[in-house]
Amino acid sequence: AIDTNGDGTPDASDDACGNLPNVILDKAFVSATVQPDGSYNVVYTVAVTNNGGATGTYTLTDTPGFDNDVTINSGSYTGEAAGALNTTGATTLTTNNTIAAGTTETFTLTYNVTLDLRATSTDGGDNVYTACGTGGPNGNGTPGQGLYNLAAIDTNGDGTPDASDDAC
């Protein structure tokens, strides 16, 4: 507001308003389906939603933390981006991806895994399957249990995850 004649009452005013993005994610375990060769296809979805009022960007990673008796044979993802999943460590699913306000982008991740509990196995595990517990930050288990899996999102481009969600 501006007072042009000095009487203490604004003579003119103007305003402005802007919107911010609000990018969030939701990870979900979908299924584990046995294959003819005895392996399992394990499927997760990761939904990234911008429920803010402006376009945002995000980098999305996925990190499996399966029981040590579970070996990842291969993996792939589809959706907003597509590619191969790493068999060890994290996979970057997309980097600096733009997401419009009011939009949800969904990724579907499929890991092919083998569970080997034989005493002669060479997977590095203890030959005892540890089921998903209820501990962890979201009550969905912790790394090293069952088919634990963590998705993390960086929404400000600093290389550090701003939020995460897991499923087991």
Report phi then psi at 128, rounded to 5.
-130, 120
pLDDT tens per residue, range 65-88:
999 999 999 999 999 999 999 999
Tokens matching residue 94? 């997309």
Q: Considering only CA atoms, which of 86, 97, 107 is closest in space to residue 154?
A: 97
User: Which regions of the chain are under pLDDT 50?
Assistant: none
pLDDT score of 134: 83
Q: How far is CA 50 from the centre of its chain?
A: 14
Say what the pTM is: 0.88
CA–CA dist 122, 137 (Å, integer): 31
Q: Considering only CA atoms, which of 149, 140, 152 is closest in space to residue 75?
A: 149
